[in-house]
Amino acid sequence: MDRRARAVPGECTGIDSRLKLSFAVTDAPQGTTALPIEIRDLTKRYGSVYALNSVDLDVHSGEFLTLLGPSGSGKTTLLMAIAGFNRPDSGSIRFGEDEVILTPPHKREVGMVFQSYALFPHMNVADNIGFPLKLRGITGSERATRVEEALETVQLSGFGARNIDQLSGGQRQRVALARAFVFGPRILLMDEPLSALDKKLRERMQIELKHLHRKLGVTTVYVTHDQREALTMSDRIAVINDGELIQLDTPEVIYNSPANAFVADFIGESTMLPLKRDDAGALFFRGQKVGDAGADEGKDWTLVVRPERLFFAGAGAETDDQTIVLKGVLREAVFQGESEMALVAIDDGTEVAVRFGTSGRASPAASITGDQVSIGLDRNDVIIIPGEQAA
C-alpha cells in the first residue's frame, strides 16, 4: 500500500520536551468551549512497522473517549499525535475547523496528564497547579483564585501548601489533573493516569474522573489497556490493535456486539466456540442450533460465551427454544469473594468458565471435581461473530 502522500516532516519528541511544551504559553481563555476532534487517514511508521495505519476517528465535542488496546497497539502513539508530541507521516488532525497537524503542542490548547503525573518535586501543590497559569501571564489574586477553584474541584481544598512528597498516589493524580485543566483547555488528554494506583483506589478514581469530566464538559481522550476501566468511564471506546482502529462504539455495544474475535477476547472474559453452518444458513454447535447466519455464505462463525451469562442447569436439562445446554465435567470451582468461578470441560475438551455470585443461583460447590454437570446459556445472551473455522 502506498503511504507516500501528504508526508509531514518532523520527529518524535522526548518526555523532557513534552513537559516543557505542555505548559508553554497559549492565549486560550479559561473555560474555552470543548472542541470535536477529526482524524483522517493518520499514518505513523517506525521503519517498516506501522504504529498507526490509516486511522480515521471522530471524537465528539465534550465526550469521554477511550483508546483501548494491548501494549504496542498504537493507542499512545495516537494520543501523542493528537497532543503534538510526535509527527505522523501522513494524514489530518482537526480540532473543530482548525487543521493542527503542523501546529506545535503549546499552541494546541490541550491539557495533558501523563502516566507518571510529571509533577515538579521542588514546587508545592499550589505552585504545581498554578504553573501553567504563570506561563500565561496570570498572576496575583486571579491565579490564586483559579488554583483554589481547581483544588476544590478535585477535592483537595487546603492542600495548596503541601509538598508533593507529602501526598499519596491518589492525591498526586488529582494534582496532575488540576494542573491539566486549570487554564481551561479545549481538549484534555490522559495517558494511563491510574496505572500506578492500587486496585481499590484505582476503581474509586475511575468514578471520580467520570464525575469530573461531567462537571468540566471538556473533550477528553483517555488511553488505557485496562478493559474494565474503559467500560466504566467511557462514553465511547475505540479498540485499537496493530495500529488500526478495530471497533468504535459505546461500552455496551463493544461488550455485547464485538466486531470480531480480537475484540470479543480482549473485552471481558470469554470462550470462543467454533460453529458449523448448514446450507440454509443455520449455525450449530455440536448439533445444537444456536443462531442463523442468513445468506452470508463462505464465512466462518464463532459463538462467544461470557462466563457471567452461563448458569448451572439441572442434570436432565436439554437445549430448547429458550436455552442452549452444554454438558461436561466439573474441573474446578474457585471461591473469589463476591463471585465464584467454575471451570467445566465440555465434550470436546474445551474448558468453559462459569462465573456467578456467591448468593442467588445455586453453587456447584456441592458437586465434586470430576462430576458430570450441565451449563445453560439463555438464547437472549448469545453472541455470534465472524470467526474461526469450525472443527
- Summarize pLDDT for 223-252 with one digit per residue, the tens: 999 999 999 999 999 999 999 999 999 999
- Assigned fold of 271-386: OB fold (Dihydrolipoamide Acetyltransferase, E2P) (2.40.50)
pLDDT, the chain, mean: 85
Is 364's pLDDT higher than 70? no
Instruction: Identify the band that residue 220 occupies on the pLDDT scale cut at 50, 70 and 90.
Output: very high
Cell numbers placing 146: 483559579
Average pLDDT over residues 309-319: 83
Q: Cα(367)–Cα(386) distance, rounded to whole angstroms? A: 35
Q: Where are the domains of the chain?
A: 15-262, 271-386
pTM of this prediction? 0.84
Q: How far apart are CA 243 and CA 263, in angstroms?
A: 14
Q: Name the class of domain 15-262.
A: alpha beta
- Bigger pLDDT: 278 vs 29: 278
* Gap between the terminal Cα atoms of the chain: 34
With CA atoms as reference, report the closest residue to 292 among 305, 279, 304: 279
Whether 84 has a pLDDT exceeding 50, the answer reads yes
Give Cβ neighbours of residue 150 (< 8 Å, ≥ 6 apart). 129, 178, 179, 181, 182
% of the chain exceeding 70 in pLDDT = 87
Nearest to 182 by CA among 104, 128, 249: 128
The stretch 363-386 carries a mean pLDDT of 80
Rounded-to-integer distance, Cα 289 and Cα 283, Å = 6
Asked whether the beta carbons of 212 and 177 are under 8 A apart, the reply is yes
